[in-house]
């Protein structure tokens, strides 16, 4: 509770995704026997994004205007984050170029395609798969822990859940099976 005045309360709630804050406020009112409903919700952070780093739409619009009219992209570069930032809070796995190509087509990541892996990954964790150049390839669910990956030389280690890298950025290194 940050503030309380008459019938109004200002609260800060830290919760995981999927939490129904409106329902939480209602339930708090019921437990206290006074009833309650949410008047306003302000999200101050989600994942790696923080309110302090946000940009107003007016600022973004002005940055686009300056770029289009004057060719200057400095304001755009300070307003728009690279797509890799979305996964900056996740454990990382660096994949070989051939694996990046296969993953961009929806393949899962097998142990031989891993170059570097973060410590402490447990089965079920969501991880970010990056190329050796630092490009975000995909998000994946760990089927093996870090220790299991390091002690294995084969097997599927990560199940691809969301592909980010565009197909064709890295050349295919596998051949299609031909029927006889």
Each residue's pLDDT tens digit, 86-131: 898 999 999 999 999 999 999 999 999 999 999 999 999 999 999 9
CA pair distance 127, 116, nearest whole angstrom: 13
Counting as low any pLDDT under 70, the low residues of the chain are 177-180
Burial group, residue 67, by CB count within 10 angstroms (0-12, 13-18, 19+): middle
> Would you give the distance in Å from CA 110 to the centre of its chain?
21
CA pair distance 110, 95, nearest whole angstrom: 10
pLDDT of residue 168: 85
Cross-strand bridge partners of residue 141: 126, 159
Give the Cβ contact number of residue 11 at 10 Å.
Answer: 13
pLDDT of residue 57: 93
pLDDT of residue 158: 98
pLDDT of residue 144: 97
pLDDT of residue 170: 87
Pairing of strands 92-95, 8-10: unpaired
Q: What is the CATH code for 85-163?
A: 2.30.130.10
pLDDT of residue 72: 95
pLDDT of residue 108: 97
The CATH 2.30.130.10 portion of the chain extends over 85-163
pLDDT of residue 100: 94
pLDDT of residue 137: 96
pLDDT of residue 109: 97
CA pair distance 171, 95, nearest whole angstrom: 14
pLDDT of residue 43: 87
pLDDT of residue 143: 98
Sign of the dihedral through C-alpha 73, 79, 84, 85: positive
């Amino acid at each position: 509770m940050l503030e309380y005045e008459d019938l109004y309360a200002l609260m800060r709630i830290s919760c995981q995704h999927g939490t129904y804050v409106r329902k939480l406020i209602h339930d708090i009112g019921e437990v206290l026997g006074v009833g309650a409903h949410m008047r306003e919700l302000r999200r101050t952070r989600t994942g790696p994004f923080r309110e302090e780093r946000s940009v107003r739409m007016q600022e973004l619009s002005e940055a686009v205007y300056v770029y289009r009219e004057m060719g200057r992209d400095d304001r755009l570069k300070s307003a728009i984050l690279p797509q890799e930032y979305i996964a900056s809070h996740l454990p990382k796995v660096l994949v070989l170029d051939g694996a990046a190509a296969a993953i961009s087509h929806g393949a899962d990541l097998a142990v031989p395609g891993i170059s570097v892996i973060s410590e402490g990954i447990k089965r079920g964790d969501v991880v970010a798969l990056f190329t050796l150049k630092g490009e975000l390839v995909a998000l994946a669910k760990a089927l093996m822990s870090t220790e299991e990956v390091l002690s294995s030389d084969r097997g599927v280690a990560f199940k691809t859940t969301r592909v980010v890298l565009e197909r064709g950025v890295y050349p295919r290194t596998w051949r299609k099976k031909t029927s006889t």
